[in-house]
């Protein structure tokens, strides 16, 4: 059996944890399996590197930023090879160059395009454990790129797909995927099985447990994932196409506080305005999420939308540059907002979930700024200070507790 095992930063945060991971991998190896290990940077190393960069230059060049950030993962894999060698097990650490993990050229947010499997296959054939840097790739200029924060999950899934692995295990510091973040929701509990679609929504909407692109890729290539703890033997959560258990109406509640709402005020109420606005943002690589357009009055209208907090400066610049062209009178930003979502495949066949969400917020005296829905999701934008209150209220309303 070929097993891809990915360990996050907390799982390799210090010497003791590195040896813990080494031993877990060696156990599978000694059982006769082929083992490919994907690692993140140790502990908070990536944040430390970002702080170092910003201290030198508050707006560091993106290429140099990726050059810096890729060192984090390189440290982990090198130390892991040393730990395995200390335990007398043959292992080899490889970075994105050595494997050849090809990505698009966008620094800091590249997408994996193709992985050469030759070198890894060769190492596996020599009966070595292969330890690969997560999060990084190389682009057509032979420069390092990174896949976006949390991107090591995506490296692992992509490797599992490319190598036709028999299992892809994502190890973390919690026991799996929860109905809500247990740090904020007291009745949160672990989910045994979840579909790709639900997991994709939860990951995108702030569950924080898997990189959303890893779930997208797992669905596309049919890679079944297991999310489990590196510190216990607990079963974890299986992420797959269909789940057998009787469907809950809602399977999880997620929140994202890293959100900015932008309102473009006084736009002309005529065809093509929304196109010009969102086209300008798209050209600057800015992802837009919830969108709300007001009813036109006296020939003008307002368009509000949300973006990731990280894109705030870029978005404001694009909009200010295009203000005259768009005919806007004012651009307003609001950063103290959060997106709270309930997700569940059971919604597809059960009406009334949105109404229940609104009732629940009303009972908690929480005002709604914006709303968006899909077949399996209801999302509301609220003031950030109400986030935990809203999450707990929704979680308990849908009886997600034991
Ligand atoms: N080290 C990177 C980060 O902190 C990638 C990862 O952990 O998956 O975002
Ligand atoms: Mg992660």
Q: For residue 245, what pLDDT is reported? A: 56
Query: What DSSP letter does each residue of 229-284 carry, written as one string?
Result: ESSS----EEEES---SPPPS--EEEEEEEEEEEEEEEEESSTTHHHHHHHHHHHT
Q: Which atom of ligand 1 is nearest to the CA of 73?
A: 1
Å from CA of 208 to ligand 2 middle: 7
Residues with CB under 5 A from ligand 2 (ion): 8, 150
Q: For residue 58, what pLDDT is reported? A: 95
Angle, to 10 degrees, between the axis of helix 273-283 and the axis of helix 312-326?
A: 140
Residues with CB under 6 A from ligand 1: 8-9, 40-41, 46, 72, 134-135, 149-152
Which residues are CB-contacts of 237 (< 8 A; sequence separation ≥ 6)? 176, 177, 190, 191, 192, 193, 194, 226, 227, 228
Tell me the best of 149, 227, 230 to mutate to test the pocket of ligand 1, counting ligand atoms within 8 Å of each CB and taking the most: 149
Ligand having the closest approach to the CA of 208: 2
Å from CA of 110 to ligand 2 middle: 16
Q: How far apart are CA 236 and CA 313, in angstroms?
A: 39
By alpha-carbon position, which residue is closest to atom 4 of ligand 1?
A: 46
The beta-strand segments (E) located in 124-243 are 129-133, 136-138, 144-146, 167-172, 193-195, 225-229, 237-240
* pTM (two decimals): 0.88
Q: Which atom of ligand 1 is nearest to the CA of 150?
A: 8
Identify the three-state secondary structure at position 334: strand
Ligand having the closest approach to the CA of 72: 1
Q: Which atom of ligand 1 is nearest to the CA of 152?
A: 8
Query: What tens-digit pLDDT sequence spans the chain (402 residues)?
Result: 999 999 999 999 999 999 999 999 999 999 999 999 999 999 999 999 999 999 999 999 999 999 999 999 999 999 999 999 999 999 999 999 999 999 999 999 999 999 999 999 999 999 999 999 999 999 999 999 999 999 999 999 999 999 999 999 999 989 999 999 988 999 999 999 999 999 999 998 888 889 999 999 999 999 999 999 999 999 999 999 987 656 677 889 999 999 999 999 999 998 999 999 999 999 998 999 999 999 988 889 999 999 999 999 999 999 999 999 999 999 999 999 999 999 998 888 888 899 999 999 999 999 999 999 999 999 999 999 999 999 999 999 887 654
Q: How far apart are CA 192 and CA 297, in angstroms?
A: 51
Q: How far apart are CA 380 and CA 142, in angstroms?
A: 42
Ligand having the closest approach to the CA of 134: 1
Ligand having the closest approach to the CA of 50: 1
Å from CA of 9 to ligand 2 middle: 7
By alpha-carbon position, which residue is closest to atom 6 of ligand 1?
A: 150
Å from CA of 352 to ligand 1 middle: 38
In terms of C-beta density within 10 A (0-12 exposed, 13-18 middle, 19 or more buried), how is residue 327 classed? middle
Q: How far apart are CA 134 and CA 146, in angstroms?
A: 9
Q: Which atom of ligand 1 is nearest to the CA of 72?
A: 1
Task: Provide the 8-state DSSP code for 208.
Answer: -
By alpha-carbon position, which residue is closest to atom 5 of ligand 1?
A: 150
Å from CA of 225 to ligand 1 middle: 18
Å from CA of 154 to ligand 2 middle: 10
């Amino acid at each position: 059996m070929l097993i891809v095992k990915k360990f996050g930063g907390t799982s390799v945060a210090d010497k003791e944890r590195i040896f813990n991971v080494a031993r877990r991998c060696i156990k599978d190896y000694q059982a006769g399996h082929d083992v490919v290990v994907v690692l993140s940077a140790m502990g908070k190393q990536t944040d430390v590197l970002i702080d170092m960069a910003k201290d030198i230059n508050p707006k560091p060049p993106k290429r140099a930023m990726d050059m810096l950030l890729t060192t984090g993962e390189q440290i982990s894999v090198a130390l892991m090879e040393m730990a395995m060698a200390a335990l007398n097990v043959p292992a080899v650490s490889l970075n994105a160059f050595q494997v050849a993990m090809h990505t698009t050229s966008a620094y800091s947010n590249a997408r994996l395009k193709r992985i050469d499997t030759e070198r890894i296959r060769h190492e596996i054939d020599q009966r070595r454990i292969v330890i690969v840097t997560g999060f990084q790739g190389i682009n057509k200029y032979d420069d390092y790129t990174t896949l976006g924060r949390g991107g090591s999950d995506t490296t692992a899934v992509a490797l599992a797909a490319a190598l036709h692995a028999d299992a892809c295990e994502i190890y973390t510091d919690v026991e799996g995927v929860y109905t809500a973040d247990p740090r904020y929701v007291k009745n949160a509990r672990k989910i045994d099985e979840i579909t790709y679609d639900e997991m994709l929504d939860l990951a995108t909407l702030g569950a924080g447990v898997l990189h959303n692109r890893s779930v997208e890729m797992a669905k596309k290539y049919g890679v079944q994932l297991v999310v489990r703890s590196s510190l216990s033997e607990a079963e974890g959560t299986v992420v797959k196409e269909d789940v057998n258990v009787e469907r809950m109406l809602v399977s999880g509640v997620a929140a994202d506080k890293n959100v900015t709402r932008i309102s473009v005020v006084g736009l002309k109420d005529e065809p093509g305005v929304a196109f010009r606005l969102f086209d300008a943002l798209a050209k600057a690589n800015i992802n837009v999420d919830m969108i709300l357009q007001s009813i036109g009055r006296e020939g003008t209208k307002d368009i509000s939308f949300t973006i990731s907090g990280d894109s705030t400066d870029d978005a404001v610049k694009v909009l200010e540059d295009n203000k005259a062209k768009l005919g806007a009178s004012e651009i307003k930003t609001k950063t103290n907002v959060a997106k709270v979502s309930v997700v569940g495949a059971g919604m597809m066949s059960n009406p009334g979930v949105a109404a229940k969400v609104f009732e629940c917020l009303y009972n908690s005296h929480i005002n709604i700024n914006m709303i968006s829905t899909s077949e399996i999701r209801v999302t509301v934008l609220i003031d950030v200070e109400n986030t935990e209150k809203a999450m707990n209220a929704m979680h308990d309303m849908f009886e997600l507790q034991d």
